[in-house]
Amino acid sequence: MSKFVGRLLILGLPLAVLAIFIVIYVVLAAAAPQPERAEVVARPSAVFVTEAALSPVQLSVTTQGEVTPLTEIDLTAQVSGRITYVNPNFVAGGFFEAGEVLVRLEDADYRLAVTRAEALVAQSRQALVREQAESELAAEEWEALGDGEASALTLREPQMAEARAQLASAQASLDEARLNLSRTRITAPFDGRVRAKNADLGQYVGPGTGLGRVFATNRVQVRLPLTNAELAVLNLPLAFQSTDANPGRPAHLSADVAGQERQWEGRLVRTDSAIDPQTRTMSAIIEVEDPYGAAAEEAGAPLAVGLFVTASIDGRELDNAIVLPRSALRGSSEVYVAEQDGTLGIRTVTVVDTSAERVVLTAGVQPGDRVVTSPLRGAAEGMLVRAVDANGDPLDPEPEAENDADNASESEALVQETNTASRAN
């Protein structure tokens, strides 16, 4: 019995102590004062703003394209023969002038053909003279001895007609021989440059053999793809052709040549004949006059064929539009406005032009509105914001003086966040 009581005491004593501690904890917790619930006051988010203002704007479209020749042909032989002369300028990249002999073929056979044709013409002319004399003699004899009207055969008119035909045929053969002889000299049809050379000295060529490929240097063109929006900015119809009354809009071309930025001036002269079925864009053609001459002197480098250039085309002018930094546009058609009451407004705007630096609006924002240009996380209509200028100074009076330090630190954080976003872009 005593053993049982001892075990009961060993097991019950700790439980009793634990129960006492629990009771004491509950009593103390119930007697402890309850903490007062603090009221959370929403603080406005500091944002950089720029004031919207109306101003005249020159719209422009920037796109890219490759420089191609306006006139380019394959130089081919029209007669057969062995090449006996090649112009030193007839090499890939060589320049030549209009009328300059580029290739000459062996012409001995063609000279002999001319000589034979000249002899045949002389014979045919002599035969015609003889027939004329015989025709006149036949007419005189008929007048002296004949009775009535003489027949055509009596007056040798068929023989005269045959003699004239023989002379005409001989003259045609002579013209053809002279033409073939002239074709042994392949001349340049314009001032230009050699793109490729396919034949050389001593090679035998036949009619239609390609000798090389050349292009004119008086003018080059750049084909530029344009979207529907870009066509609207340029106010360009689908079937545009420049005229004296409407010479087309100026275009400014630029490219990096040998590590330096070069610029050339051109003009939009026409649109392509059809819309590209793959890209659904319409191409506009820019032409540049004298790209290897005057234009090259002005730019410091020629506008070489094959160069990939960036083109900026002047578009229509707007008398009153609002120009904002590109960072002000949210998505494709929204901007944030810091209202005068310290809340955020989200506006849907009409965008007529955008670039890496600016956005041009015609509706949705009024002059004097303070448009937010800095990043703003969790933006919502009506949220509290505080507009600050480029230096981080508040544009509206502070509600409480004790918050100056907090406001200053918040402005510094906003500047750092904006700089980080700029570097990321």
Tell me: the pLDDT tens digits for 325-338?
888 888 888 888 88
Residue-level pLDDT at 33: 66
pLDDT mean across residues, the chain:
82
Give the phi and the psi of residue 230 in degrees, each rounded to 5: -70, -35
Tell whether the model's pLDDT for residue 171 goes beyond 90.
yes
Q: Which of 18-22, 56-60, 174-178 has the lowest mean pLDDT?
A: 18-22
Tell whether the model's pLDDT for residue 89 goes beyond 90.
yes
Tell whether the model's pLDDT for residue 1 goes beyond 70.
no
Q: For residue range 180-228, list pLDDT tens digits in order.
A: 999 999 999 999 999 999 999 999 999 999 999 999 999 999 999 998 8
Q: For residue range 268-293, list pLDDT tens digits in order.
A: 999 888 888 888 888 999 999 999 98
Tell whether the model's pLDDT for residue 10 goes beyond 80.
no
CA 90 to CA 199: how far, in whole Å?
10
Give the phi and the psi of residue 342 in degrees, each rounded to 5: 85, 15
In the three-class reduction of DSSP (H, G, I as helix; E, B as strand; rest coil), residue 172 is classed as helix
| Entry pTM | 0.67
* 103 within 8 A of 186, measured Cβ to Cβ: yes
3-state SS record for 15-76: HHHHHHHHHHHHHHHHHCCCCCCCCCCCCCEEEEEEECCEEEEEEEEEEEEEEEECCEEEEE
CA 46 to CA 30: how far, in whole Å?
45
Residue-level pLDDT at 412: 55
Residue-level pLDDT at 403: 46
Q: Which residue has the higher pLDDT, 201 or 22?
A: 201
Long-range pairs for 136-144 at CB < 8 Å and ≥24 separation? none
Q: Which of 82-86, 102-106, 244-248 has the lowest mean pLDDT?
A: 244-248
Segments of 217-272 assigned E as strands: 219-226, 250-257, 260-271
* 223 within 8 A of 119, measured Cβ to Cβ: no
For tokens 């055509």, name the residue: 152
Q: For residue range 33-49, list pLDDT tens digits in order.
A: 666 665 555 677 777 88
Tell whether the model's pLDDT for residue 405 goes beyond 50.
no
Distance of CA 415 to the CA centre of its chain: 38
Distance of CA 217 to the CA centre of its chain: 20
Mean pLDDT of 13-31: 69
CA 71 to CA 163: how far, in whole Å?
47
For tokens 């020749």, name the residue: 69
Tell whether the model's pLDDT for residue 11 goes beyond 70.
no
Half-sphere exposure at residue 369, Cβ-oriented, CA atoms within 13 angstroms: 24
Tell whether the model's pLDDT for residue 401 goes beyond 50.
no
Long-range pairs for 235-240 at CB < 8 Å and ≥24 separation? 235/315, 235/316, 236/268, 236/271, 236/284, 237/271, 238/271, 238/275, 238/282, 239/271, 240/268, 240/270, 240/271, 240/284
Residue-level pLDDT at 7: 60
User: β-pairing, 385-388 with 45-51?
Assistant: parallel
CA 232 to CA 227: how far, in whole Å?
9
Q: Which residue has the higher pLDDT, 115 or 353?
A: 115
Q: Which residue has the higher pLDDT, 30 or 128?
A: 128
Mean pLDDT of 102-110: 94
Tell whether the model's pLDDT for residue 76 goes beyond 90.
yes
User: β-pairing, 344-348 with 95-96?
Assistant: unpaired
For tokens 């007048």, name the residue: 143
> Residue 234: which pLDDT band, with cuts at 50, 70 and 90?
confident
Maximum distance among all alpha carbons in the chain?
A: 192
> Residue 419: which pLDDT band, with cuts at 50, 70 and 90?
low
* 79 within 8 A of 207, measured Cβ to Cβ: yes
